[in-house]
Structure 1
Amino acid sequence: MKAFETTAFLAFALLTAAQTSTSICSNNSQCQPFLIDLTWGLTDPLNAFSREAILINGSFPGPPLRMKVGECVDFTIVNNMPNVTSIHFHGIRQLSTPWADGVPGVTQYTVKPGTSYTYQWTAEESGIYLYHSHYKGQMMDGLYGAIIISAADNAAKPFSLISNNSVDIQQMQEAEANVETILTSDWNRLTFNEFWEIQKSANIDNSCTDSFILNGKGSQYCLSTAELTENEAVQVSQILGSTSLTAKGCIPPNNTVIGGNYIRNLAALPPTAYDVCTAYTGKNFTYEVDPANGWAAVSFISPSAFSLFKVTIDSHKLYVYEINGNYIEPQTVDQISVTNGDRISCLIKLDQSPADYTIRVANEGINQVISGFGVLSYKGSQGPSSSTALMNYGGQNTTEIQVLDPATAYPYPPADQVASTADTTFLLDIEKAPEEPLAWAWVLNGETPYNESHDDEVPPLLYQLPSEIPESDLILRTQYNDWVDLIIKVSGPIAQPHPVHKHANKFYVIGSGVGDFNYSTVAEAQAAGVQFNLDNPPFVDGYTSTPVKGEGAWMVFRYQANTPGAWLLHCHIQTHLSGGMAVAILDAVDRFPTVPSDVGVPCSETRSGGVGKHFAGEHADNALRSNTSARPAQQG
């Protein structure tokens, strides 16, 4: 059986199971167990500056989950925190298990303190993924870890497009099997709740952090004003006017070019938010490699709160072979962009002299001059290499380089046939909330913020009949197997980059650009001469709009509504999501799934005869209700 036939058969089997199953545990689960114990505690001060954070099994970040296509997992969280929580499996389709997507208010009740909750799901697609909290901004507090799903034995892989040498191909396959995941994030001395409350009190859209860390390790650097200026982007001086960057290298919070014309309360900002930089020396993440292996593989994963990254490795090309859980036609580049929620996997040819080579992670945006660092260390290293950096501390290129182009990240093997037309089109507008005098409030639908209080609403959307859910401009609805276009426009005059993530199945990026998109459908735009890629477009679960000054930007996602359930579409910048940049999607309302009676209950407890104290829903009687008995949610 060919790889795509295997996937199609698995998808059919999963969908059939979803439509007929009334119990998760009735089949005596043979899934691999994976348990995480969640607590609050201080992070290790040897790795980076220590702060109160969410620890997973006593450490930060969490352990990786390793699986193979076709395997299932019983992923159990034990919530020993004083807060409610949830876990989302970023990029996992959840074809038969929409109740395992981990979004409070949409697919589940929150997991209460002192309880346990099991998510059971099957790995349908190979690739690198991410688990993280989806309750408000807890991801910023450290609740995240990597997911590595190995491909089926007969899966087609793109390595022969990098080299036709059989030894190289074998070494690349071995490197992929031992891929090193590098969780790349911003790291702030404040918890998310502290950060969020300060932002709201000051009425700003804060994107100033303290440090960049790789796998929980890094330092806080404090440069002089002259050094910050030397490393800033060329357009920053125009934005700053007569002012300068703050001590942490940030655009000042009173800047109206970036922040807009809002009434601010800057007295609510503690000095440490922008104006005090406290240097701290932690450890650099070090990836040790053996040149005898020929090749190494790394996957940069971004659970970042709000920072977007540029990544280079001194003296090494990056052979990008996978983006967001999908093989691509490889691109050989010097630099990759890793935006919030992204997973970018690269091969590295180990052909340099034994030394330590710097992994550079700089800020993609103009909001702050900042970098973090790691080390690619060859076995037998004689110390730091003498190679020249390709970009400076502010992320500005020091020489001409080749950069990853996500718009031409063509799937490998080529994409299944993409529909030439859409059955349904939704027009979405990213902008500051038009009816609110709030610098931190955002919308995705052009009208109404998706308030973070939706996380606490009960019953969740998935627990209700679609016909009983009130109409709302925050809820999109589709029919089973329809092809859907999401036309997303980003307002200027400074169109920030927004990494938009869709839960459930991936989508095709059939077009993106800058300027106005004054069309109500793709067909209308095509008639006006706008070009779209319907042959082999990128196939991803997240894509970032093009940043531009002086005009807007746009992008078009096309997907098939063949994964029934309630899902979220949102910006993956945590403050933008909490600020309202999201909508819910009820996919396949004509085949809406029924939630199993024992969802969330650890199966071992069900087999032993009871739910007991570990049940994690709102209440046992509420969470076990079927769609037919659930009450309507209050939306919008």
Structure 2
Amino acid sequence: MWKKTTSWLLLAAASLAAASVVPHHLDASASPSLPSAPKTAEFDLEITWAEYAPLGVPRKVLLVNGQTPGPELRFDQDDAVTVRVVNNSPFNTTLHFHGLEMHGTPWSDGVPGVTQRHIRPGRSFTYRFAATQHGSYWYHSHARDQIEDGLYGAVFIRPRPGTPHPFHLIDPAAAASRAMERAAHTARTLAVFDLLRVTSEEKWAVTLASGIEIPCYEKLVFNGKGRARCLPAELMSANLTPVQKADLALIPGSSLTDRG
């Protein structure tokens, strides 16, 4: 459902036009060269709403191409990036590329009501931007609390050739620097996220009814996989450090979390 394509654009006519304005006393080796067109990276993402059990307990989640987190978007610095999003969920949504610059393409920043309208159910939107940076980033919904429902994924941008890797600043040992250099060429992303058993809409309903936001996220998923382990209040209290116990003793009846 998603793809990455690479293409180069040759402008023969433009090259001839440029050559015609070069002074005749300059030889071919001195002729100016036209900059090459940027390489393209294209992705297709479909957002759906379905039953999923990342913790072994089924709940409704927002899936990107049938999974959460969504597929990793991996491309090169200086690429011209196109991300086509089809919203087949029942909710309005957008997609934000966290930390990425949108020079000249502010409409691709994914903030509903500011840089674009919502992508309505059954509709689509195409994001286009230049990859001016490199490193690890992520994309996510910028509508309501849809991140908590699984609408997020990793972005990995490979640096342009010749970019210095100052690994010696981490460890001056030559062997360590070489090991980090090798690891950089085979890097894989690990998305760590917290999760509730209830959907974001169900959580919001509880918040409105109680007047208290649910602050306790005790379940972690690694690349979308994990398990639910809810410790009883007695066991959590037994694991308190002396400093935590002293702090809690200042307020009679207080506890470390809202569960105990």
- Assess same fold via TM > 0.5: yes
The alpha-carbon distance between structure 1 residues 143 and 240, as it changes in their structure 2 partners (threshold 3 A), is farther
Alignment of 1:238 onto 2:249: yes
Larger radius of gyration: 2
Structure 1 position 96, deviation (Å): 1.7
Structure 1 position 222, deviation (Å): 2.8
Structure 1 position 221, deviation (Å): 1.5
The equivalent of 2:50 in structure 1 is 41
Q: 2:40 is matched by which residue type in structure 1?
A: C
Distance 2:205 2:119 in 1: 23
Quick one: percent identity of the two aligned structures? 35
1:149-228 aligned within 5 A: 149-228=157-236
The alpha-carbon distance between structure 1 residues 235 and 147, as it changes in their structure 2 partners (threshold 3 A), is farther
SS at match of 2:248: helix
User: Retained in 2: the 8 A contact 1:187–1:213?
Assistant: yes
- Which of residues 87, 97, 103 in structure 1 aligns to 2:95? 87
The alpha-carbon distance between structure 1 residues 239 and 100, as it changes in their structure 2 partners (threshold 3 A), is farther
The alpha-carbon distance between structure 1 residues 223 and 94, as it changes in their structure 2 partners (threshold 3 A), is same
The alpha-carbon distance between structure 1 residues 83 and 169, as it changes in their structure 2 partners (threshold 3 A), is same
Spell out, residue by residue over 1:518-550, the C-alpha distance to the aligned partner (whole angstroms, 9 max, x if none). xxxxxxxxxxxxxxxxxxxxxxxxxxxxxxxxx
Q: 2:99 is matched by which residue type in structure 1?
A: G
Q: 2:110 is matched by which residue type in structure 1?
A: G
Q: 1:237 is matched by which residue type in structure 2?
A: L
User: Retained in 2: the 8 A contact 1:48–1:216?
Assistant: no
- Which of residues 100, 109, 112 in structure 1 aligns to 2:108? 100
Structure 1 position 121, deviation (Å): 0.7
User: Retained in 2: the 8 A contact 1:130–1:144?
Assistant: yes
The alpha-carbon distance between structure 1 residues 218 and 96, as it changes in their structure 2 partners (threshold 3 A), is same
The alpha-carbon distance between structure 1 residues 239 and 199, as it changes in their structure 2 partners (threshold 3 A), is farther
Structure 1 position 29, deviation (Å): 9.0
Structure 1 position 244, deviation (Å): 4.6
1:511-550 aligned within 5 A: none
The alpha-carbon distance between structure 1 residues 84 and 241, as it changes in their structure 2 partners (threshold 3 A), is same
The alpha-carbon distance between structure 1 residues 73 and 202, as it changes in their structure 2 partners (threshold 3 A), is same
User: Retained in 1: the 8 A contact 2:88–2:122?
Assistant: yes
The alpha-carbon distance between structure 1 residues 116 and 162, as it changes in their structure 2 partners (threshold 3 A), is same
Alignment of 1:78 onto 2:89: no
The alpha-carbon distance between structure 1 residues 192 and 241, as it changes in their structure 2 partners (threshold 3 A), is same
The equivalent of 1:335 in structure 2 is none
What are structure 1's unaligned runs of at least 5 residues? 1-27, 252-273, 275-367, 369-636
1:395-414 aligned within 5 A: none
User: Retained in 2: the 8 A contact 1:62–1:144?
Assistant: yes
User: Retained in 1: the 8 A contact 2:39–2:79?
Assistant: no
SS at match of 1:131: strand
Distance 1:79 1:194 in 2: 21
Q: 1:139 is matched by which residue type in structure 2?
A: I
Alignment of 1:147 onto 2:126: no
Structure 1 position 179, deviation (Å): 2.0
The alpha-carbon distance between structure 1 residues 203 and 65, as it changes in their structure 2 partners (threshold 3 A), is same
User: Retained in 2: the 8 A contact 1:84–1:113?
Assistant: yes
The alpha-carbon distance between structure 1 residues 36 and 239, as it changes in their structure 2 partners (threshold 3 A), is farther
Q: 1:208 is matched by which residue type in structure 2?
A: C
User: Retained in 2: the 8 A contact 1:150–1:177?
Assistant: no
Q: 1:41 is matched by which residue type in structure 2?
A: A
Q: State TM-score, norm by structure 1.
A: 0.33
Structure 1 position 103, deviation (Å): 0.3
Structure 1 position 91, deviation (Å): 0.3
User: Retained in 1: the 8 A contact 2:218–2:230?
Assistant: no
User: Retained in 2: the 8 A contact 1:187–1:212?
Assistant: yes
What are structure 2's unaligned runs of at least 5 residues? 1-36
User: Retained in 2: the 8 A contact 1:86–1:111?
Assistant: yes
The alpha-carbon distance between structure 1 residues 203 and 77, as it changes in their structure 2 partners (threshold 3 A), is same
Structure 1 position 243, deviation (Å): 5.0
Q: State TM-score, norm by structure 2.
A: 0.77
SS at match of 2:176: helix
Distance 2:222 2:60 in 1: 18
Distance 1:91 1:43 in 2: 29
Distance 1:175 1:30 in 2: 25
User: Retained in 2: the 8 A contact 1:64–1:148?
Assistant: yes
The equivalent of 2:18 in structure 1 is none
Alignment of 1:31 onto 2:45: no
The equivalent of 1:59 in structure 2 is 67
SS at match of 2:153: strand
Structure 1 position 100, deviation (Å): 0.5
The alpha-carbon distance between structure 1 residues 239 and 90, as it changes in their structure 2 partners (threshold 3 A), is farther
SS at match of 1:160: helix
1:411-430 aligned within 5 A: none
Distance 2:109 2:252 in 1: 46
Structure 1 position 138, deviation (Å): 0.5
Spell out, residue by residue over 1:39-92, the C-alpha distance to the aligned partner (whole angstroms, 9 max, x if none). 1111145x5432100011111111111111101211111110111100000000
Structure 1 position 236, deviation (Å): 5.5
SS at match of 2:113: coil
The equivalent of 2:144 in structure 1 is 136
The alpha-carbon distance between structure 1 residues 121 and 227, as it changes in their structure 2 partners (threshold 3 A), is same
Distance 2:139 2:247 in 1: 35
Structure 1 position 235, deviation (Å): 5.4
The equivalent of 1:342 in structure 2 is none
The equivalent of 1:379 in structure 2 is none
Structure 1 position 231, deviation (Å): 2.3
The alpha-carbon distance between structure 1 residues 236 and 143, as it changes in their structure 2 partners (threshold 3 A), is farther
The alpha-carbon distance between structure 1 residues 172 and 204, as it changes in their structure 2 partners (threshold 3 A), is same
Distance 1:64 1:170 in 2: 26
Number of residue equivalences = 221
User: Retained in 1: the 8 A contact 2:45–2:85?
Assistant: yes
The alpha-carbon distance between structure 1 residues 222 and 63, as it changes in their structure 2 partners (threshold 3 A), is same
